[in-house]
Amino acid sequence: MTEYLQFFIFIPLAGFIISLIIPDRQELLLSRVAFMTAGVNLVSFQGFLIYWLWQGSPVLNLKEIVLYRTDHYEFLIDFFFDGITATYLFVGSLLIFMVTIYSRYYLHREPGYKRFFNTVLFFYLGYTVTIFSGNFETLFIGWEILGISSFLLIAFYRERYLPVKNAVKVFSIYRIGDVGILLAMWMSHHLFEENIAFLKLSNYELVSHHLQIHSWAGIFISLMILVAAAAKSAQLPFSTWLPRAMEGPTPSSAIFYGSMSVHIGVFLLLRTFPFWEHQVSVRILIALLGLATALLATGMARVQSSVKSQIAYSSIAQIGLIFIEIALGLKYIALIHFAGNAFLRTYQLLVSPSVVTYQIREQFYHFVPRQQSIEDSWPKRFSYSIYMLCLKEWNLDSFMYHYLWQPIKWFGNRLGIFTSRRTILFFLPTYAAGITLLIFRTSLPQELIFILPGLFSIIGLAMVFKSFTERIHARMSWILVIMNHFWVALAISLNEQYSFSHTLLYLSGISVFGLVGYFTLRTLKQREGSIDLHQFHGHVHRHPKLAFLFLVASLAVSGFPITPTFIGEDLIFMHIHEHQYLLAFFTSLSFIVDGLAIIRIYARTFMGPHVKSVYDMAYRSS
């Protein structure tokens, strides 16, 4: 029965691809494809579920395809099925089925009908890949799809300012989660000396054997998993993204941010539980994080005066409790809690517009002037302070801004002296020098080899910071992103002697799509004049094809699993030694910011209110 697993990935993939080729205005056809995809998936899964339970619910593992192999490295797609997957698929397939039917009518006549269903199916594909994943690599593919489709769903109303701004914001938080996974993956390569399958994690002896040798590595991996899970499940300090994700049509908010997307962090913890089960400190940390989130989020939910943000915060609080449950090892309670929370919040969000009718009527018949709540009995000064902090979301936003983005901006702005010409002038000779060094690597003193990778990765990082803070030249920003990858490649090549083919694999997608992206931007600039990055341009309005092309290029360059670069990225990381935390940190940081810089270019040039038609655009504040 293992071989059936791939079927559940295949259905949403097929649905997604079919939905891409259906013409724009074919509402009926589009919704049918979505309906069929969700329906077939639901029904076949129910059948499979019964069969699986009948068979005594065995744990299934399917080594699908090996995408790349060298002597001691294997990149493979691996599928896995157990009770956790079953629960997630049960909830997911049921919800997606109901919401596609719901949206069929709800989105009737909406411009972007097709885009909506494309993105929903794409999202669902990401969801299934994630929950079926049998190793970190496969999980990471799903994870990336979730990230990008979330971005597209939040920015569904891409001609308005706030959705685009919030989409970028959510994407940047997701990006932090991505790096958590990336680093966890990197360290686990070194820890297990292979791409470990999740199946093997439940092998207590194997795990504890490795952990005994490198206990710090185990802690590191667990922490990175926690970062990824906290970011994706909107736990502290990332919580504020969830209410801001409620920018798309209500059903998409309901299903993704009410249920499926936001519980993926929970999934990650459940999936990796056997790995950190015996790390008591990690378990305590997870429980504490859950508790802190549950308390603060409840406070924030209590003061929310808009219906969707209230639901978002109360959902976050429940997820905090689920974190505690997982930390306590209560897997089944956590799964039930997840399912209940997902269903409840989805439904609550779907009926949220009715709150006016319902509550106004309730109030009309049962009004109590100035309703007292528990907080009114607290000392005044204390009560006011807590209220104000909850209303300000405990300054979490400015916390993230000050400690995360501000330093990057500060650093990027310090690089202001590097104009485009100077950067090129700097890049060419230094890079040539770097390559020369690489050629003569064997004859270099050991100390130099020790320093150079770090130095080059810092140069790469500087490039990407500069790219991220570039206010004017879109193409410049793009080139800097590409350059960063070249520096990373150089740094790692110097770090360890390995086959050039790895570097080639890594740079192949980047070079090709780097050029594609560059020429797209150039064409756009020729047609529209200014595409300066200090404002949104909304060029998708007139150039939907260019926008799509650039999106694909952006995805490819940022390591999305559509080019070999994706595998290359993993390979590159493997050549960073387990003690080279700094190098790993610089490289991963440059990957995060790199993705951000790319999505920023895309958002600024193609999304947001269209610059040339003030009269047809919504207010910036709306």
Report the nearest approach of other proteins to the CB of residue 321 (Å): 6
Q: What are the structure tokens assigned to 612, written together?
A: 């040339």
- Measuring CA to CA, how many Å separate 412 from each of 116, 118, 463, 464? 36, 36, 8, 8
337 vs 466 by CB, closer to other proteins? 337
Report the nearest approach of other proteins to the CB of residue 27 (Å): 8
Does 472 sit near other proteins (CB under 8 A)? no
Q: Which of 510, 487, 481, 515 is nearest to 599 (CA)?
A: 481
Q: Which DSSP state fits 3?
A: G
Does 43 sit near other proteins (CB under 8 A)? no
- Measuring CA to CA, how many Å separate 180 from each of 136, 595, 605? 11, 14, 29
Residues numbered 600 to 619 that lie near other proteins (CB under 8 A) are 614-619
311 vs 462 by CB, closer to other proteins? 311
Does 388 sit near other proteins (CB under 8 A)? yes
Q: What are the structure tokens assigned to 286, written together?
A: 């997870």
248 vs 453 by CB, closer to other proteins? 248
Burial class (CB in 10 A: 0-12, 13-18, 19+), 541: buried
Of 13-21, 213-221, 381-389, 480-488, the window that binds other proteins (rule: CB under 8 A) is 381-389
Report the nearest approach of other proteins to the CB of residue 475 (Å): 22
Q: What are the structure tokens assigned to 176, written together?
A: 């932090």
Q: Which DSSP state fits 22?
A: S
Residues numbered 79 to 108 that lie near other proteins (CB under 8 A) are 94-95, 98, 101-108
246 vs 476 by CB, closer to other proteins? 246
Residue given tokens 């306590």 in the structure block = 328
Q: What are phi and psi of 134, to 5 degrees?
A: -110, -5
Q: According to CB under 8 A, which one of 109, 212, 429, 443 is a site residue for other proteins?
A: 109
Half-sphere exposure of 528 (CA within 13 A, CB side): 23
Q: According to CB under 8 A, which one of 68, 387, 399, 426 is a site residue for other proteins?
A: 387
| Strand, coil or helix: 133 | strand
Report the nearest approach of other proteins to the CB of residue 163 (Å): 7
Residues numbered 484 to 543 that lie near other proteins (CB under 8 A) are none
Q: Which DSSP state fits 472?
A: S
Residues numbered 276 to 335 that lie near other proteins (CB under 8 A) are 294-295, 298, 301-314, 317-318, 321
Are the C-beta atoms of residues 509 and 565 closer than 8 Å to each other? Answer: yes
Q: Which of 173, 180, 205 is nearest to 192 (CA)?
A: 205
Report the nearest approach of other proteins to the CB of residue 168 (Å): 13
Report the nearest approach of other proteins to the CB of residue 620 (Å): 7
Residues numbered 165 to 194 that lie near other proteins (CB under 8 A) are 165-166
304 vs 484 by CB, closer to other proteins? 304
207 vs 312 by CB, closer to other proteins? 312
The one-letter amino acid at 226 = L
Tell me the site size for other proteins, rule CB under 8 A. 105
**Interior CA angle at 403 toward 171 and 463, to 5°?**
65
Give the contact letters, 540-579, x = binds to other proteins (CB under 8 A), - = no: ----------------------------------------
Half-sphere exposure of 243 (CA within 13 A, CB side): 21
Beta-ladder partners of 62:
79
Report the nearest approach of other proteins to the CB of residue 329 (Å): 18
371 vs 446 by CB, closer to other proteins? 371
307 vs 596 by CB, closer to other proteins? 307
357 vs 442 by CB, closer to other proteins? 357
Does 389 sit near other proteins (CB under 8 A)? yes
Q: Which of 329, 330, 331, 334 is nearest to 318 (CA)?
A: 334
| Strand, coil or helix: 141 | helix
Q: Which of 600, 532, 528, 613 is nearest to 169 (CA)?
A: 600
The alpha carbon of residue 333 and the mean position of all alpha carbons in its chain are separated, in whole angstroms, by 26
Report the nearest approach of other proteins to the CB of residue 246 (Å): 6
Residues numbered 341 to 380 that lie near other proteins (CB under 8 A) are 341-344, 346-348, 350-367, 369-371, 373, 375-376, 380
Q: What are phi and psi of 70, to 5 degrees?
A: -125, -165
Residues numbered 137 to 156 that lie near other proteins (CB under 8 A) are 156
Residues numbered 235 to 264 that lie near other proteins (CB under 8 A) are 243-244, 246-251, 253
Q: According to CB under 8 A, which one of 216, 384, 403, 548 is a site residue for other proteins?
A: 384
Per DSSP, which regions of 399-486 are E strands? none
Report the nearest approach of other proteins to the CB of residue 103 (Å): 7
| Strand, coil or helix: 610 | coil
210 vs 337 by CB, closer to other proteins? 337
